[in-house]
Amino acid sequence: MKRNSSLKQDLEILRNTSKELKLIHGILSLLGWDQEVYMPSKGVLGRGKQTAFISELYHNKLISKELGNSIEKLEDNKDKLTRNDKSLLRNISHDYKKAVKIPSEVVKELAEIETISQKAWEKAKKESDFKSFAPYLSKILKLKLEICEKVGYKNSPYDVLLDDFEPYMTEEKLDKLFPKLREETIKILNKIKNNKINIVKKKINLSMPIDKQKQFTLLVLKKLGYDFGAGRRDEVEHPFTTWISANDVRITTHYYKEDFTKALSSSIHEGGHALYEQGRDKKILLTGLDEGISFGIHESQSRTWENFVGRSKYFWKYFLPKLKKLYPKFKSIQEKDLLLEINEVKPSLIRIYADEVTYNLHIIIRFEIEKDLIKGKIKVNDLPEVWNSKMKEYLGIKPKKDSEGVLQDVHWSCGKFGYFPTYSLGNLYAGQFFYKMKKDIPDLNKRIEKGDFACLLNWMREEIHKFGHIYTASEICKKITGKDLDAKYFVNYLNEKYGEMYGF
CATH number at residue 249: 1.10.1370.30
In this model, does residue 198 exceed pLDDT 90? no
| Domain termination residue (choose one: 152, 183, 198) | 152
In this model, does residue 35 exceed pLDDT 90? yes
Residues 282 and 228 in one domain: yes
| Domain termination residue (choose one: 152, 184, 202) | 152
Flag whether 122 is in a domain: yes
Residues 249 and 312 in one domain: yes
Residues 54 and 99 in one domain: yes
Residues 275 and 144 in one domain: no
Among the residues of 38-129, which ranges form H helices? 44-62, 65-75, 83-99, 104-127
Contact 249, 242 (CB under 8 A): yes
How many domains, the chain? 2
**pTM of the predicted model as reported, rounded to 2 decimal places:** 0.94
End-to-end Cα distance, the chain: 70
Which residue type, as a one-letter code, is found at position 336? K
Residue 196 confidence (pLDDT): 65
Residues 253 and 394 in one domain: yes
Catalytic-role residue among 270, 299, 306, 356: 270
CA distance 209 to 419: 34
Residue 107 confidence (pLDDT): 95
Residue 3 confidence (pLDDT): 46
Helix (H) or strand (E) holding 247: none
Residues 350-378, mean pLDDT to the nearest whole number: 96
Flag whether 158 is in a domain: no
In this model, does residue 327 exceed pLDDT 70? yes
- Closest Cα partner for 261 from 231, 302, 306, 305? 306
- pLDDT band, residue 48 (cuts 50/70/90): very high
Flag whether 160 is in a domain: no
Flag whether 57 is in a domain: yes
In this model, does residue 96 exceed pLDDT 60? yes
Contacts 24+ apart (CB under 8 A), 28-32: 28/54, 28/55, 28/58, 29/242, 29/243, 29/244, 30/242, 30/244, 32/242
Flag whether 139 is in a domain: yes
Residues 136 and 202 in one domain: no
In this model, does residue 4 exceed pLDDT 60? no
Residues 189 and 116 in one domain: no
Helix (H, G, I), strand (E, B) or coil at 45: helix
Neighbours of 328 (CB within 10 A): 8
Helix (H, G, I), strand (E, B) or coil at 260: helix
Residues 141 and 234 in one domain: no
Report the range of poorest mean pLDDT among 98-107, 188-197, 257-266, 453-462.
188-197
- Residue 270: active-site member: yes
Residue 288 confidence (pLDDT): 87
Residues 354 and 460 in one domain: yes
Residues 148 and 176 in one domain: no
Flag whether 159 is in a domain: no
- Closest Cα partner for 463 from 276, 185, 262, 215? 276
Q: Which domain holds residue 15?
A: 2-152
Flag whether 89 is in a domain: yes
Tens digits of residue pLDDT in 118-154:
999 999 999 999 999 999 999 999 999 999 999 999 9
| Domain termination residue (choose one: 120, 152, 184) | 152
In this model, does residue 2 exceed pLDDT 80? no
- pLDDT band, residue 1 (cuts 50/70/90): very low
Contact 239, 254 (CB under 8 A): yes
Residues 484 and 434 in one domain: yes
Which residue type, as a one-letter code, is found at position 86? K
Q: How far is CA 65 from CA 77, 96, 495, in A?
A: 19, 10, 53
Residue 195 confidence (pLDDT): 80
Flag whether 221 is in a domain: yes
Helix (H, G, I), strand (E, B) or coil at 437: helix
- pLDDT band, residue 73 (cuts 50/70/90): very high
Residues 131 and 186 in one domain: no
